[in-house]
Amino acid sequence: MAVFTPPSGNSNSTDHTHTQDDHDKDDNDIKKFYIRPSLGLKLWGPLVPAPDNLPGLYTLITIQSAVGFFALWRLRRLYKLPPPRRIATGTHSDLSFGELPSEMIVNGKTKIKKDIADFPTLNRFSTTHGDIVLAPPPIIPRQSRFVSVRKLLWGLFGSLLLSQSLLELTRLNFLKYDPWCDEMKSVRDKKFFNNIVKYYHEGIDPTKIKVKDAMNGTPLSTNIPEVKQSVALARAQVEAQNPIIKWFGPLEYKPMSFNEYLNRMEFHLDMFEFFQNKRNIRENSIELINSISHNPQSSSTGLEGLSESKKLHLQNVEKRLHFLASSGDSISAPVKRSSTTLSRGVILPHDTKGPQDIDLDTIRSLYDPWMTLALETSLSIKFIPTTMPSHTKTPTSTDQPLPGPTPKALTNEKTH
């Protein structure tokens, strides 16, 4: 028989375990390093610098291009290497490289003549002379497989490096908009200001940092807000000038994917084309107006057509007004009020009979809508400082509330 005893504080322990696991997961995410994006420097792996680090990018491009040219130079040396041939020396023959003498080639490449006395295996002191006809050398000399594989590897390696370097140079020099570069600049700025806020809230350790007045050299208190701001700014600048941060950017930065990069580039190109077409339309309209103003005779026919249509329109308007005026006499007119009140609270004089009797300047000065809105609106804004949440410490019932304004202090009132 067994007795089960539940552990004390089970709920608190599980909550603490979950919070600790979440905190460890956040730390692991922060410590994870992402390879910086690039188009032609992917062979360098994690050594690729940040997209906005132009000196680092050009340094890697130079090294990569130099290695590519060296590979092509080695390929050229292999192609210039002459084919092997055997030279008889004494009682054995050795495999050596060299070109046949020009006097051995007769009638182009049809045959080769060699004097018998030049062969060392025969009698050197013989007075007999004759010619031996040899086969002409092949147009494409035979080579070993090792030499062919070396040529293939050097050619592919050099071409790959140079093409990748050219692709990266195109991205840096010919693209007017680079999403990766803009993203890295914004990430650096955010990191810089976040470090200022973090160091300001951390405060100053008097045992490590001492602040003195620049004028007289007297030590200053580290609890002054201005001193804390200056020290936080200096610490953030020192961290931003770190060689690793300058090369890679913020270490926790996760770059955008290549698909998102292409989407932003496509959107930028579409917007550029839209504004380009809009500017072309505006320029064409300006040219058309200038041509009409400078050449009135060429556009006289068009202006005459416009004037005729305008005259017809005015005649139609006059006929309609005359019809309304004649029909208004037969209809009983409504009783007019002594004063007219509009929906916006504008009171017109009693002698106002039509829109032509309204003095717009006077009405505007008396009933300015923006001034009315300013007088009817009253705003009261108060700023409350924010606090950093803590992942390790959980609030208890014994904790005292922090001094400061309550949420009711933030008010936004509107009075009429």
pLDDT digits (tens, 9 = 90+) for 291-341: 776 665 555 555 566 667 777 777 777 777 777 667 655 444 444 444 444
The pLDDT assigned to 60 comes to 94
138 lies in some domain: yes
pLDDT digits (tens, 9 = 90+) for 159-189: 999 999 999 999 999 888 899 999 999 999 9
Average pLDDT, the chain: 71
* Average pLDDT of the residues in 244-262: 90
137 lies in some domain: yes
Q: Where are the alpha helices (DSSP H) in 32-111?
A: 54-80
Kindly tell me the sign of the dihedral angle through the C-alpha atoms of 370, 372, 374, 378: negative
Residue pair 68/162 in contact by the 8 Å Cβ criterion: yes
404 lies in some domain: no
Provide the domain count of the chain. 1
DSSP string, 224-277: SHHHHHHHHHHHHHHHHT-HHHHHH--TT--PPPHHHHHHHHHHHHHHHHHHHH
Higher-scoring residue by pLDDT: 228, 127? 228
Describe the crossing of helices 258-294 and 179-202 by its angle, rounded to 10 degrees.
Answer: 110
Q: Which bin fits 108, alpha (ψ -120 to 50), beta or left (φ > 0)?
A: left
* Average pLDDT of the residues in 216-239: 82
Identity of the amino acid at 204: I
Pick from 10-19, 26-35, 116-125, 268-277 the range whose average pLDDT is largest. 268-277
pLDDT bin (cut points 50, 70, 90) of residue 99 is very low
Hey, what's the torsion of the CAs at 159, 164, 166, 171, to 10 degrees? 170
* Average pLDDT of the residues in 39-51: 91
As a whole number of angstroms, the distance between CA 180 and CA 38 comes to 9
pLDDT bin (cut points 50, 70, 90) of residue 353 is confident
190 lies in some domain: no
222 lies in some domain: no
The pLDDT assigned to 17 comes to 53
Residue 199 has pLDDT above 70, yes or no: yes
109 lies in some domain: yes
Residue 65 has pLDDT above 90, yes or no: yes
127 lies in some domain: yes
Tell me the residue range of the domain where 120 lies. Answer: 89-142
As a whole number of angstroms, the distance between CA 169 and CA 412 comes to 54
Higher-scoring residue by pLDDT: 410, 351? 351
108 lies in some domain: yes
Which of 245-254, 342-351, 387-396 has the least mean pLDDT? Answer: 387-396
The pLDDT assigned to 108 comes to 45
Residue 93 has pLDDT above 70, yes or no: no
As a whole number of angstroms, the distance between CA 34 and CA 14 comes to 33
